[in-house]
Every structure is written in structure tokens, then in C-alpha cells.
Amino acid sequence: MTDLKNRVALVTGGSRGIGKAVGLALAEAGAAVAVNYRERGGEAEAVAEAIRKGGGRAAVFGADVSLGAAVHSMVRDVEQRLGPVDILVNNAGMAAPRGLDDITEEDFDRAVAVNLKSAFLCTQAVLPGMRVRRWGRIVNISSIGARIGSGSVSIAYAAAKAGLEGLTRGYALRLAPEGVTVNAVAPGLVDTEMGQPLIAAGVTAHIPVGRSGTADEIARAVMLLVDNGYITGQTVAVNGGSFFS
């Protein structure tokens, strides 16, 4: 693994689940970690404290990353407290169950704002510095739902995650000559708070490897993309064989 000692990483939705695991993995590799949260400040601070106890640098930053002004303020604070952002992991997301008969325009707009627009806003905010330094790593957390429609949650979630993969490819094509790679990781069912209802419903019985994934396994896929400067524009599927891309 590349030594990230002099790098600064921003992980959105970093207070729990996959975001927490990614933040800890980045810190273990030497990066200073900015842990973003929207509501769970205590949990975000616990992640940062775990990093500091391990000898790393970390700080928490509360912001709704679906709002442009909040994103710009957050990135400015990260730069002042930790330094310019070299690594961005767009992990913030939501997956509210909605059927075709009860999904509303507000539901759709919120799903797109949190799962897709936030990645655009955060990427735009950190890109100027990455381009000047000619080095950057952006990893977007997608979902198996982008490919299979995700019948367990709303069509808005599936659409937003599919859009996120398109956003990934669009940025990757434009930024490759400037030393910035952009990729996505698409988890299947993972044993996190978001995945628990599906695990309880017995969905793991249909996964070829016979179990749900762990947040650490997703984090290792993220670290692969951070480490490898020759991979860009790709979506890495980590789903136990549930879908072959």
C-alpha cells in the first residue's frame, strides 16, 4: 500500500458503517482523515478519537453535503485544520424504502441530492487543489442497486446510484491527464445499519458466497483504488457474486 503519510482524506458520511471503515483504513495507511457527518456527531468524534489514539490525525466536520454552501464551508475548514484534500471518498447516502405507489417528488429529489448531487458538490470543491498538485484520488460509493434496480428500496436510490457511476466515468475521462483518478465501488449487501433489515429478511441466502459483506471488505476495495494510479473510470463490484459486472 502506498504510504499516505502526507495526504489528507475527506470521507463523507464517515461516522459509521462503510464510511467509518474507510476512514480507519486511510488513517492506518498514514493519511490525515476528515470525518464528515450530518447528524451523528458523537459517532463521528468516536471515529476521529480512535484514529488519534492510533497515532493518526483526524477531525470531524458537520455538514449536509447535499448543499453547496455547506460543502464549500466544510472543505475550507478541512483545509485550515488538516490541509488540502488529496483523497475524497463520497460515501454519504440514504436508502429509504418507497414503493411505486407512495414515492413522492420530494422523496425522489432528496434521494438524488444525497446520493448523487453530494458527490458532484464535494468533487467540485476539492478539484482545484488536486489539479494544481496534479495528484488526487476520488472514490464514489455506489451500490449493486445501480445495476439490478434495487427492489428493496426506492427507484430513486437505484437511479441516483446509476447516475453516480456515470458521474464517475465523466470525471475520470476529463481528469486522467491531470493525475487525478476517479473510480467507484459498488457494494452488495453489507452488514451495516442500512443492510440489517435485509439481512434479517434472509436475503443472504441468495448470495453465492453465503453471507453478507463487511464494511472492512468494502474499505479494502477503496484502498486498492487509492493505491493504484493506473485504475480510473472503473466501478469495482464487491457483492459476493450477487451480480457479475
Q: Which residues have a catalytic role annotated?
A: 157
How far apart (Å, rounded) are the C-alpha atoms in residues 114 and 91?
A: 10
Angle, vertex CA 167, rays to CA 89 and CA 63, nearest 5: 40
Radius of gyration for the alpha carbons in the chain, expressed in angstroms and rounded: 17
Task: Map residue 208 onto helix, strand or coil.
Answer: coil
How far apart (Å, rounded) are the C-alpha atoms in residues 63 and 47?
A: 16
Residue 173: how many other CB atoms lie within 10 Å: 12
Residue 202: how many other CB atoms lie within 10 Å: 8
What is the DSSP-derived secondary structure letter of residue 101? T
User: Cell for 72?
Assistant: 464549500
What is the DSSP-derived secondary structure letter of residue 149? -
How far apart (Å, rounded) are the C-alpha atoms in residues 130 and 128?
A: 6
